[in-house]
């Protein structure tokens, strides 16, 4: 399918990288103070976190990855200077059935609307299908997250389930949309 | 969507035990501050002790308890703290506590703004049905602030406190979801 | 107020871990039951292992977001199945896991009756805004039962499961609070 030399973690403007415990907690702490970002990225109540708490969360995450073996996490870094700009996750991997959930977030408003999310999701899909050998991916998106809906549709996802009124925010209920993409569908896109 | 972390004068920020502990040790030296916010006999904790106390608080980070630092928008200074704690999910009711540390920041509208921001968070992010608080009879400034925010008097524990040689009541106040939405949201679906 | 735990054909119970584990062993040995109820590869756990799991996950301190029941038939008091509820506290959504382990009790209305109790408990005791569940495309009996109980099909996750060399869809269903309340007042599902 692809050359072994093809870089899994490099894109024109962004790259996947590991957690940098020195620099990243401070940056991610800032994202958590942005209520808009938190409400797009999380279904849990938004809460601002200190760098110390973010650091603890990184430790918990790395432990979970090692113990549960059904989860991958990548920091999204700017190719130019390795600056942290977002994060990406492959979650709830069901190895027997070959499926998983994907999540991508670009943390700071200045870095959004530049195509970074698209590059990140493309790399995440390639990793999932060509390195983890999974069969299908799911993306769960809130009805009010227009950016994410546009992104997954652009990359060929199909809206499969409308979980009616599953979320509550701003004193009203919202639908949660479930999008799916199968390996064959992804291959067709990539080879086109 | 509304920016639920930001009010007119203040914003919610992370609760950092070290920063909060150091600030609290200073605020607590004003015994009036202590007497307004704590029923127990006023004491003087060291910054170290206060930091340990706040670190322990943060051990219990669950969806049932939310700690916030409060910063003034003007200069980003840490001026106070707030807590939202759901005691029992079945009732979808939470207790709140808030305080403004330095006397120079009292009577400047911060309390009203903080209360409004916290209520917005409680009703439109945690989706609660009511919010409860208790306040001491000898704290009329706070009582007035809560009344302005829409809280109603629901009862009092008579002669609960013993300060300055006399007994005082502890007041309970509450606000319902419908009441707050009606006063604060233009349209809902 | 009504008895939340008693239906027309079944009742909800809590069982001693010892006893419950022994019954579960037998259910696990019926691979058809496993494949209808569970997406993980079939496994054969010892009664001891199952008992430990029950004690660790079911018998601990009260957790406001998890509720486990066993299901007994009213006519002969036989332990025939299980019911697990996960309540997403902030958004008030209940996820259901249900299974009738005794195959002699399939297709006779016991499952549907248990689901009725489950919905009543979710809406009238847990205050849910919606109840959700997933099921495998090849489980036609469950699909019919859930539709009768009031669930609406909200979509299908294509080819999510693979068994016996064949890819199948996972169906997703949900029932909203208003819909369920209307059903209680006579509206048809």
Average pLDDT on A101-116 reads 92
- The helices-and-strands tally (H runs, E runs) of chain B is 6, 7
User: Nearest by CB to A97, which of C93, C156, C160?
Assistant: C160
For residue B120, which of B183, B62, B69 has the smallest C-alpha distance? B183
The helix/strand/coil state of C125 is: coil
In this complex, do A35 and B17 lie within 8 Å of one another by their Cβ atoms? no
Residue C89 lies in a domain: yes
CB B173 within 8 A of CB B157: no
User: Nearest by CB to B124, which of A49, A52, A171?
Assistant: A171
Average pLDDT on C88-115 reads 96
Identify residues of A whose CB sits under 8 angstroms from chain B CBs. 29, 32-36, 39, 44-53, 144, 168-172
Chain A residue numbers touching B124 (CB-CB < 8 A): 169-171
Chain A residue numbers touching B121 (CB-CB < 8 A): 45
**Residue of chain A minimizing CA distance to C41:** A96
Confidence at residue B189, expressed as pLDDT on a 0 to 100 scale: 42
DSSP letter for B131, please: E
Task: Kindly list the structural domains of chain A, giving each domain's residue range(s) and its CATH number in brackets, ordered by start.
Answer: 14-191 (3.40.630.30)
Confidence at residue C59, expressed as pLDDT on a 0 to 100 scale: 73
Residue C3 lies in a domain: no
Q: Quick one: tokens of B117?
A: 């921001």
User: Nearest by CB to B125, which of A33, A50, A169?
Assistant: A169
Confidence at residue B81, expressed as pLDDT on a 0 to 100 scale: 94
User: Nearest by CB to A161, which of C41, C129, C172?
Assistant: C172
Residue C92 lies in a domain: yes
Residue found by looking up tokens 């735990």 in the block: C5
Residue C2 lies in a domain: no
Confidence at residue B188, expressed as pLDDT on a 0 to 100 scale: 46
**Residue of chain C minimizing CA distance to A175:** C154
Listed in sequence order, the DSSP H helices in chain A are 24-32, 35-41, 51-68, 116-130, 146-154, 183-191
* CA pair distance B85, B96, nearest whole angstrom: 6
Chain C residue numbers touching B63 (CB-CB < 8 A): 89-90
Confidence at residue B76, expressed as pLDDT on a 0 to 100 scale: 95
Q: Give CATH for domain B10-184.
A: 3.40.630.30
* CA pair distance C100, C141, nearest whole angstrom: 12
Chain C residue numbers touching A70 (CB-CB < 8 A): none
In this complex, do B127 and C127 lie within 8 Å of one another by their Cβ atoms? no
In this complex, do A163 and C159 lie within 8 Å of one another by their Cβ atoms? no
Best interface-test mutation with B: which of C89, C93, C128, C130 has the largest number of B CBs within 10 A? Answer: C89
Query: Any idea where the domains of chain B sit in the sequence?
Result: 10-184
Chain C residue numbers touching A101 (CB-CB < 8 A): none
- Whether C1 has a pLDDT exceeding 70, the answer reads no
CB B120 within 8 A of CB B185: no
Confidence at residue B54, expressed as pLDDT on a 0 to 100 scale: 85
Mean residue pLDDT across chain A: 94
How do residues C40-59 score in pLDDT, each as one tens digit?
A: 999 999 999 999 999 988 77
Transcribe A10-46 into DSSP letters: B-SSEEEE---TTTHHHHHHHHHT-HHHHHHH-SSPP
CA distance B22 to chain C (A): 33
How do residues A38-97 score in pLDDT, each as one tens digit?
A: 999 999 999 999 998 999 999 999 999 999 999 999 999 999 999 999 999 999 999 999
The helix/strand/coil state of C29 is: coil
**Residue of chain B minimizing CA distance to A42:** B125
ipTM: 0.87
How do residues B138-151 score in pLDDT, each as one tens digit?
A: 999 999 999 999 99
Q: Hey, is the C-beta of C41 within 8 angstroms of any chain A C-beta?
A: yes
Confidence at residue B108, expressed as pLDDT on a 0 to 100 scale: 94
Residue C135 lies in a domain: yes
Domain total of chain C? 1
Chain B residue numbers touching C65 (CB-CB < 8 A): 89
Confidence at residue C2, expressed as pLDDT on a 0 to 100 scale: 80
Tell me phi and psi for residue C68, to 5 degrees. -115, 135
- Whether C154 has a pLDDT exceeding 80, the answer reads yes
Domain of C163 in residue numbering reads as 10-184
CB pairs under 8 A between B and C: 16
CATH at residue C119 = 3.40.630.30
Residue C140 lies in a domain: yes
Average pLDDT on A153-179 reads 96
Half-sphere exposure (CA, 13 Å, Cβ side) for B177? 18
Identify residues of A whose CB sits under 8 angstroms from chain C CBs. 43-45, 94, 96-99, 135-136, 138, 158-168, 173, 178, 180, 182
The helix/strand/coil state of C62 is: coil
CB C33 within 8 A of CB C99: yes
Sequence-ordered list of residues with C-beta below 8 angstroms from that of C134, at least 6 positions apart, any chain: C157, C170, C171, C172, C173
Q: Is B76 left (phi over 0), alpha (psi -120 to 50) or beta?
A: left
Q: Hey, is the C-beta of C130 within 8 angstroms of any chain A C-beta?
A: yes
Chain C residue numbers touching A158 (CB-CB < 8 A): 158
In this complex, do A45 and B66 lie within 8 Å of one another by their Cβ atoms? yes
User: Nearest by CB to C90, which of A45, A178, A180?
Assistant: A45
CA distance B57 to chain C (A): 20
Chain A residue numbers touching C152 (CB-CB < 8 A): 164
With a cut of 70, list the residues of chain B below it in pLDDT.
Answer: 60-61, 186-189
CB A125 within 8 A of CB A137: yes
CB C136 within 8 A of CB C100: no
With contact defined as 3+ CB pairs under 8 Å, the chains touching B are A, C
Please state the pTM of the whole predicted model.
Answer: 0.90
Q: Quick one: tokens of B132?
A: 């409860």
């Amino acid at each position: 399918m692809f050359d072994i030399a093809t870089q899994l973690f490099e894109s024109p403007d962004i790259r996947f990288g590991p957690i940098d415990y020195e620099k990243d907690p401070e940056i991610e702490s800032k994202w958590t103070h942005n209520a808009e970002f938190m409400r797009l990225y999380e279904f849990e109540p938004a809460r601002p976190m200190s760098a110390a708490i973010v650091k603890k969360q990184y430790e918990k995450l790395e432990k979970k990855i090692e113990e549960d073996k059904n989860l991958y996490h990548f920091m999204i870094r700017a190719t130019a200077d390795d600056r942290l700009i977002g994060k990406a996750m492959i979650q709830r991997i069901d190895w027997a059935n070959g499926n998983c959930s994907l999540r991508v977030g670009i943390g700071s408003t200045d870095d959004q609307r530049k195509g970074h999310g698209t590059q990140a999701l493309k790399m995440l899909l390639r990793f999932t299908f060509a390195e983890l050998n999974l069969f299908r991916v799911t993306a769960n998106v809130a009805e009010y997250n227009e950016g994410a809906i546009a992104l997954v549709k652009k990359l060929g996802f199909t809206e499969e389930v409308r979980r009616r009124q599953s979320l509550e925010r701003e004193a009203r209920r919202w639908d949660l949309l479930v999008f799916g993409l199968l390996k064959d569908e992804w291959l067709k896109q990539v080879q086109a | 969507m509304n920016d639920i972390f930001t009010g007119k004068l203040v914003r919610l920020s992370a609760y950092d035990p070290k920063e909060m502990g150091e600030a609290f040790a200073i605020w607590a030296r004003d015994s009036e501050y202590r007497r307004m916010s704590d029923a127990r006999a006023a004491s003087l904790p060291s910054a170290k002790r206060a930091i340990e106390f706040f670190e322990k608080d943060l051990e219990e980070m669950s969806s049932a308890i939310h700690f916030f630092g409060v910063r003034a928008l003007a200069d980003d200074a840490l001026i106070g703290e707030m807590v939202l704690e759901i005691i029992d999910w079945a009732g979808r009711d939470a207790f709140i506590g808030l305080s403004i540390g330095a006397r120079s920041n009292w009577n400047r509208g911060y309390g009203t703004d903080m209360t409004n921001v916290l209520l917005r968070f409680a009703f439109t992010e945690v989706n609660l049905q009511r919010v409860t608080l208790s306040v001491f009879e000898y704290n009329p400034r706070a009582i007035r602030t809560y009344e302005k925010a829409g809280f109603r008097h629901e009862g009092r524990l008579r002669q609960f406190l013993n300060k300055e040689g006399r007994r005082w009541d502890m007041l309970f106040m509450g606000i319902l979801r419908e009441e707050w939405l009606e006063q604060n949201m233009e349209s809902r679906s | 107020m009504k008895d939340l735990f008693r239906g027309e054909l079944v009742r909800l119970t809590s069982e001693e871990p010892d006893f419950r584990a022994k019954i579960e062993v037998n259910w696990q040995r019926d691979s058809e039951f496993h494949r209808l109820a569970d997406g993980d590869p079939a496994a054969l756990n010892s009664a001891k292992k199952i008992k430990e799991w029950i004690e660790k996950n079911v018998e601990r301190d009260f957790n406001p977001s998890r509720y486990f029941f066993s299901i007994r038939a009213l006519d002969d008091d036989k332990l025939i199945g299980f019911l697990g509820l996960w309540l997403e506290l902030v958004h008030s959504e209940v996820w259901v896991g249900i299974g009738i382990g005794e195959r002699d009790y399939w297709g006779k209305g016991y499952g549907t009756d248990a689901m009725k109790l489950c919905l009543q408990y979710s809406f009238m005791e847990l205050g849910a805004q919606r109840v959700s569940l997933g099921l495998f495309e090849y489980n036609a009996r469950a699909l019919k039962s859930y539709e009768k109980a009031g669930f609406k099909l909200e979509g299908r996750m294509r080819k999510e499961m693979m068994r016996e060399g064949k890819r199948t869809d996972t169906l997703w269903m949900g029932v909203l609070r208003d819909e369920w309340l209307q059903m209680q007042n006579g509206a048809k599902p």
